[in-house]
């Protein structure tokens, strides 16, 4: 397992991280707490030292599970969590988004509760969870700097979502000096706005790192969703339209060459190739796939050590992406979340439109 630095914070993360949204909820399959703890321990044993959770996952359950799993191994782990959703005073409605709260008093209380559940006195990376750009006031930024100065936080990040975009927020994370990382959906099929942030980091000389989530495009690039797959209503991947998967299967066929570079069969699995494509960007510090079991952990954690994409392979992917993989059909997902009614998307020159919700 290789490691990269978050910005210039001095905090190192494993190139493949453990996205702990999978534990503490049943959105990606039901498992007992003991099974969830075992998954985390298996990931640590496989060299996955970056663990990324959030207080809203299972309304604190994920943090408690992570706290148990890393007990006695805290010094091996680069631990990240997120705050900003007020689940304490609002019920969860299915997979719907909860109200956000970012005033100083709430954030202080939420952070202390997270530390208690994680059974630690500091986190390596604290992220604001899907915060709107207008909510990151000078007072909020002052509070983040205070936490960093007193040692309870080693690095700061801004986690974007829950949809594909939030372009203005990511740009702000790159611009504001407090933030060492921006987390976003980013994968070979869904390259925006991740590529936009990478380009902005390069153009501005920013030290901000990108943490890529959903690297397998909701089951397409790890081939866990095939034409024969039936997604249950509770499966988080079922929010994708059918058109998304139908066009996606054709795209997967178009990039089969990534599995067998130089004609060497079995060099990479498709899931590993998808991770290697992300790691071809120096700005990407860590990739956080959604591990569902031990087989996923064994295969995907090994992606750090399989051959990187060659320049020719990367360029071929770029050419295919520019032609929409030669598919002339709407996939139903040509939208980005935005905080300014699409003006940020237009200003960035992205061939996307603002989401209608």
Residue ranges per domain, the chain?
3-348
Q: Is the pLDDT of residue 257 over 80?
A: yes
Contacts 24+ apart (CB under 8 A), 30-34: 33/65, 33/68
Helices (H) and strands (E) in the chain, counts: 11, 12
pLDDT tens for each residue of 145-172? 999 999 999 999 999 987 667 999 999 9
Query: What DSSP string describes 179-196?
Result: -SEEEEE--SS--TTHHH
DSSP designation for 165: -
Query: What DSSP string describes 60-78?
Result: THHHHHHHHHTTT-GGG-E
End-to-end Cα, the chain, rounded Å: 40
Residue 6 · residue 13 · CB < 8 Å? yes
pLDDT at 163: 67
Of 289, 303, 286, 297, nearest to 15 by C-alpha is: 286
Q: Which band of pLDDT confidence, cut at 50, 70 and 90, is reported for residue 329?
A: confident
Phi-psi domain of 214 (left: phi exceeds 0; alpha: psi -120 through 50; beta: other): left
Statement: 3-348 belongs to CATH 3.20.20.100:
yes
pTM for the full model?
Answer: 0.94
């Amino acid at each position: 397992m290789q490691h990269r630095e978050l910005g210039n914070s001095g905090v190192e993360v494993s190139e493949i991280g453990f996205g702990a949204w999978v534990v503490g909820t049943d959105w990606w399959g039901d498992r007992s707490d003991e099974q969830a703890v075992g998954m985390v321990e298996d990931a640590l044993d496989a060299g996955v030292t970056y663990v990324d959770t959030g207080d809203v996952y299972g309304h604190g359950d994920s943090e408690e599970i992570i706290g148990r799993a890393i007990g006695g191994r805290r010094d091996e782990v680069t631990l990240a969590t997120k705050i900003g959703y007020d689940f304490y005073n609002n019920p969860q409605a299915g997979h719907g988004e909860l109200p956000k709260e970012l005033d100083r008093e709430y954030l202080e209380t939420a952070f202390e509760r997270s530390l208690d559940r994680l059974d630690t006195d500091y986190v390596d990376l604290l992220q604001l969870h899907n915060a709107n750009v207008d909510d990151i006031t000078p007072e909020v930024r002052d509070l983040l700097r205070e936490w960093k100065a007193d040692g309870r936080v080693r690095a700061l990040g801004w986690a974007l979502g829950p949809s594909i975009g939030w372009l203005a927020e990511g740009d702000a994370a790159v611009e504001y000096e407090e933030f060492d990382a921006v987390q976003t959906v980013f994968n070979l099929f869904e390259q925006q706005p991740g590529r936009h942030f990478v380009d902005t980091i390069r153009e501005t000389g920013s030290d901000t790192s990108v943490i890529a989530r959903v690297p397998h495009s909701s089951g397409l690039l790890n081939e866990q969703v095939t034409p024969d797959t039936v997604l249950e209503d509770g499966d988080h991947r079922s929010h994708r339209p059918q058109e998304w998967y139908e066009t996606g299967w054709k795209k997967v066929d178009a990039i089969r060459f990534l599995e067998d570079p130089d004609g060497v069969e079995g060099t990479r699995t498709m899931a590993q190739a998808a991770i290697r494509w992300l790691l071809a960007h120096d700005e990407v510090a860590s990739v956080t796939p959604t591990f569902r079991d031990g087989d996923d952990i064994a295969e995907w954690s090994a992606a750090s050590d399989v051959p990187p994409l060659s320049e020719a392979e990367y360029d071929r992917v770029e050419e295919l992406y520019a032609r929409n993989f030669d598919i002339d059909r709407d996939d139903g997902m040509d939208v980005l979340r935005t905080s300014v009614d699409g003006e940020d998307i237009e200003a960035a020159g992205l061939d996307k439109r603002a989401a209608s919700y």
